[in-house]
Amino acid sequence: MTSANSAYTDGIVAVTGASRGLGAEIAMALAERGFTVGCLSRKGIGLEQGEPSEGLKKRMINLACDVTDEASIAAALAELDGREGGLRYLINNAGIHLLGASRDFSNDDFRQVLETNVIGAFAAARAAYPYLRAQSHGSAIINIGSFFDRLATPHNTAYSASKAALGAMNRCLAAEWAKDGISVVNVAPGYIDTDIARDYLAQDEVKAYFARRVPIGRPSQSEEVADFTARLLQGDLTLLTGETIYVDGGHSIDHGRV
């Protein structure tokens, strides 16, 4: 990996949900490009998968942060802003995915999904705002959405609703904060081959579905989505602010083969 231009790598990137899965991959991809990364997770112990090199570890700041707790968010972001370069970027990656038939899905479970995926992201963005606004060379928030925000997906009502709400929040924040030099972009992946989804994606009928329904014929790899997300911060996002970028291999726009 090549390092990003120092004009963009100055300052710290906070990544929520950075201990596992896509969040861990994003943190690694950023560190490989020369960014200093605040790896925020409930445990605060850093990456739980993979073993970054000593050089990359030096660019990672491991902090405890529960996105459903406003005080926890405020403390973590204040700690990062107190470091050299200050807080310049936020990647709202933390999220949960609860499946269930809508006729049986409880309000408590629905609320739990929204609390983490939407309210947690909003609270983190709001807490980051004064620090990002103070940056003199521009700053950005990247929200990790999902292509489920525009699909009809049985047993995914809560998750799909949360990602649609995240996209709407993204547009509103972009409109409000552009004048403050803060770009806000929503990255919406499709299916990702992570440890959580691997058994499902390995089923023969699922592989056959991807072969006939998805132009690239397969799900995304977490490192691919992480690489794309990290590369966004290597350039000026001003003209992309408010946009949702679907990184699903054409899944959500393709008719598929019959």
CATH number at residue 140: 3.40.50.720
Q: Tell me if 153 is assigned to some domain.
A: yes
What are the tokens at 113?
Answer: 């999904």
Q: Tell me if 208 is assigned to some domain.
A: no
Name the pTM for this structure.
0.95
- Given a cut of 70, whether residue 199 has pLDDT beyond it is yes
> Across residues 121-142, what is the average pLDDT?
97
pLDDT of the residue at 6: 72
Residue 139 belongs to what domain range?
6-190+223-244
pLDDT digits 0-9 by tens, 182-194:
999 999 999 999 8
Beta strands in the chain (DSSP E): 12-16, 36-41, 60-64, 87-92, 139-144, 182-189, 192-193, 220-221, 244-247
> Across residues 146-151, what is the average pLDDT?
96
Burial of 106 (0-12, 13-18, 19+ CB in 10 A): exposed
Q: Tell me if 23 is assigned to some domain.
A: yes
Task: From the candidates 8, 131, 159, 246, give the one annotated as an active-site residue.
Answer: 159
What are the tokens at 89?
Answer: 């970027």
pLDDT digits 0-9 by tens, 211-248:
999 999 999 999 999 999 999 999 999 999 999 999 99
pLDDT digits 0-9 by tens, 13-42:
999 999 999 999 999 999 999 999 999 999
Q: Tell me if 105 is assigned to some domain.
A: yes
User: Which of the four pLDDT bands, split at 50, 70 and 90, describes residue 2?
Assistant: very low
The number of folded domains in the chain is: 1
246 is catalytic: no
